[in-house]
């Protein structure tokens, strides 16, 4: 047991401190802790949050605009914003028109945010007060607050009704052409009713079908759904707007779409040669009134057919435009695919997509002038624009100026 006694009494050996200078080594008499001779810089370390680079969050399709800044056309984007601004006006107008005496109790209206078009969680009264010439509130004999149309708005509704009556023949033609484009020459009545405002079709069109037995008949599917069926095929109606324009201005129609032909750089083609080569794919056009249900989905013919169908579909609308919801509504009837968005983006000469990636609208560019005004306006479009102007007014001071524009 003497070894541990010798270790305690034995004096420590002096340690030599090695330096990289020319000075003589310094002898230290006090022991120092053992220091590792290798670097520890390879060990993983955690960077403090304040020193971390903040990564940009990926923009949501709900807010990301379809068009980038250089390609954006403000007049089309403003039309989409206008639709959003007047959502309460248009939805409440349709909903109230179906109510007895065109009135609704305010307490009940507050629960119908989807039907009336006001933001969920907000008070409906705020939206009503934005349009004092259109809507009004009053206290009923039951002590409850109600809201309905003003007398001025009731007069406007009568004016719109007369327009609907005068345009009935044109609306019937529109529905006939939609049925002729459909794969089975039949469309559910619910879909036509849902998109009636897009084509100017009156609310009671389902009741008017019986007036045209030579054009339509109503069938019932196995699931009980009522469908509108085409009775007679009219070859005079089976001519698309593109085919009519081709007879007038062939060059313009040739430039409307672009289906490029893949070729190698070794060919060294100039711009004119590339255009002529692409025409081999572009022409001939595929009629939207042909049967496209049997085409292979991923062939060039099928894509040309779908582009032609959407072009004709937009031509049948009042404002030569439609939203994603309208196009999806007729997806089965027109043999469309889920890639309609990408397909339309590849044709910027004819179509313009406005809005966000999740909620976009497509416009026919040739139907609008350089200022974004619709060149050929349907009487219903003229009425809608006048209604929007009245909806923005707080009083009747500038009423005479609008009436002169009828």
C-alpha–C-alpha distance, residues 127 and 99, integer Å: 19
Give the pLDDT score at 405. Answer: 45
Low-confidence spans in the chain with pLDDT less than 70: 1-45, 50-51, 53-56, 260-283, 397-406
Give the pLDDT score at 293. Answer: 80
Give the pLDDT score at 20. Answer: 47
Q: Tokens 């009156």, residue? A: 202
Given a contact cutoff of 8 angstroms between Cβ atoms, the answer to whether 43 and 52 are in contact is no
DSSP secondary structure letter of residue 59: P
Give the pLDDT score at 142. Answer: 83
Give the pLDDT score at 6. Answer: 54
Q: What is the pLDDT of residues 205-228, one digit of tens each?
A: 988 999 999 999 999 988 889 999
Give the pLDDT score at 292. Answer: 83
Token pair belonging to 200: 């100017």
DSSP 130-199: T-TTTEEEEE-TTS-EEEEE-HHHHHHHHHHHHHHHHTHHHHHHHHHHHHHHSTTSEEEHHHHHHTHHHH
C-alpha–C-alpha distance, residues 401 and 399, integer Å: 5
Question: CA of 271: how far to CAs of 82, 253, 268, 274, 275, in Å?
Answer: 40, 18, 10, 5, 6
From start to end of 113-170, where are the E strands?
135-139, 145-149
Token pair belonging to 162: 């007369």
Q: At what angle do helices 300-316 and 168-181 cross, to 10 degrees?
A: 170
Given a contact cutoff of 8 angstroms between Cβ atoms, the answer to whether 350 and 343 are in contact is no
pTM for this prediction: 0.80
Give the pLDDT score at 199. Answer: 96
Q: Tokens 């339509």, residue? A: 216
SS3 197: helix
Token pair belonging to 207: 């009741």
Token pair belonging to 273: 């040669």
């Amino acid at each position: 047991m003497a070894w541990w006694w010798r270790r305690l009494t034995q004096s420590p050996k002096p340690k030599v401190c090695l330096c990289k200078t020319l000075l003589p080594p310094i002898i230290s008499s006090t022991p120092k802790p053992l220091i590792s001779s290798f670097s520890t810089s390879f060990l993983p370390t955690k960077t403090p949050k304040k020193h971390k680079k903040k990564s940009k969050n990926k923009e949501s399709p709900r807010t990301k605009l379809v068009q980038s800044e250089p390609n954006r056309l403000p007049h089309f984007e403003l039309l989409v914003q206008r639709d959003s601004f007047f959502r309460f006006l248009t939805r409440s107008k349709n909903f109230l028109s179906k109510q007895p005496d065109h009135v609704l109790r305010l307490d009940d209206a507050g629960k119908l945010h989807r039907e009336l078009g006001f933001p969920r969680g907000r008070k409906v009264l705020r939206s009503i007060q934005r349009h004092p010439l259109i809507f009004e509130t009053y206290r009923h004999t039951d002590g409850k607050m109600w809201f309905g149309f003003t007398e001025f708005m009731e007069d406007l509704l009568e004016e719109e009704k007369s327009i609907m009556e005068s345009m009935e023949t044109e609306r019937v033609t529109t529905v006939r052409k939609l049925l002729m484009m459909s794969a089975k020459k039949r469309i559910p009545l619910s879909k036509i009713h849902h998109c009636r405002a897009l084509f100017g079709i009156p609310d009671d069109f389902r009741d008017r079908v019986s007036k045209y037995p030579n054009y339509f008949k109503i069938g019932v599917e196995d699931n009980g759904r009522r469908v509108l069926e085409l009775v007679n095929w009219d070859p005079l109606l089976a001519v698309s707007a593109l085919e009519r324009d081709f007879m007038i201005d062939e060059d313009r129609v040739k430039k409307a779409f672009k289906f490029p032909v893949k070729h190698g750089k070794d060919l060294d083609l100039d711009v004119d040669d590339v255009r002529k080569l692409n025409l081999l794919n572009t022409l001939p056009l595929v009629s939207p009134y042909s049967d496209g249900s049997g085409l292979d989905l991923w062939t060039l013919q099928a894509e040309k057919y779908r582009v032609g169908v959407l072009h004709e579909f937009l031509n049948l609308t009042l404002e030569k435009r439609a939203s994603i919801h309208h196009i999806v509504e007729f997806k089965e009837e027109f043999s469309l695919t889920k890639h309609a968005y990408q397909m339309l983006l590849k044709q910027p000469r004819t179509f313009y997509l406005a809005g966000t990636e999740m909620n976009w609208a497509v416009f026919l560019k040739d139907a609008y002038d350089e200022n974004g005004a619709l060149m050929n306006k349907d009487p219903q479009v003229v009425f809608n624009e006048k209604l929007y102007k009245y909806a923005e007014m707080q009083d009747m001071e500038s009423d005479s100026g609008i009436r002169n524009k009828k």
